[in-house]
Amino acid sequence: MALPHPVGPTRRRQRVAVYGLCHDGAGRVLLVRAAAYLTVAGDWFLPGGGIDHGEDPVTTLVRELREETGLDVEVGPLLGALSDVFTLPDGTELHTVRLIHRIDGWRGELRPEVGGSSDQVRWVAPAEVEDLPLRPYVREALDRFV
């Protein structure tokens, strides 16, 4: 028996993004929650986002953290890179490469993003992390880089 053939070519997309791993003096990690209009609404992420064409990753991280958290940050060293592939609701295979940097310092008032991809931001204690709906890469980053 012949195997079924796909209806059309598989759509593929690649995204390169950068995220900050930020801890406060009490050992809490800074997380943002996906906005209601996203397919992953309510899931928690590390703050950060997609690198624009021609943009330096550190510049991206500073911009994204300011947008999502209100904080001006001092970006620390690159901790590592994570990569995954998953299928979007429209059938597109998305390959995401995520650069994870340590955040060495910050200033400003913590506030949620308005009209963006996140709708909440907060410091989360280690005991609380396990109870939150985290994106898989966040769990991996916390396991590998904390």
**Which CATH number is 59's domain given?**
3.90.79.10
C-alpha 49/C-alpha 18 separation (Å) is: 6
- Classify residue 7: in a domain, yes or no: no
- DSSP calls for 40-97: TTT-EE-SEEEPPTT--HHHHHHHHHHHHHS-EEEEEEEEEEEEEEEE-TTS-EEEEE
pLDDT along the chain (146 residues), means of 10: 57 96 96 93 96 97 97 98 93 96 97 94 95 95 94
- Classify residue 114: in a domain, yes or no: yes
Domains in the chain: how many in total? 1
Q: Show the domain range for 89.
A: 12-145
- Classify residue 3: in a domain, yes or no: no
> Which residues fall within 8 angstroms of residue 55, CB to CB, at 6 or more apart?
none
Q: Give the number of other Cβ atoms within 10 Å of residue 18's Cβ.
A: 28
pTM of the model: 0.90
In this predicted structure, what is the pLDDT of residue 146?
Answer: 85
In this predicted structure, what is the pLDDT of residue 2?
Answer: 52
In this predicted structure, what is the pLDDT of residue 5?
Answer: 47
- Classify residue 5: in a domain, yes or no: no
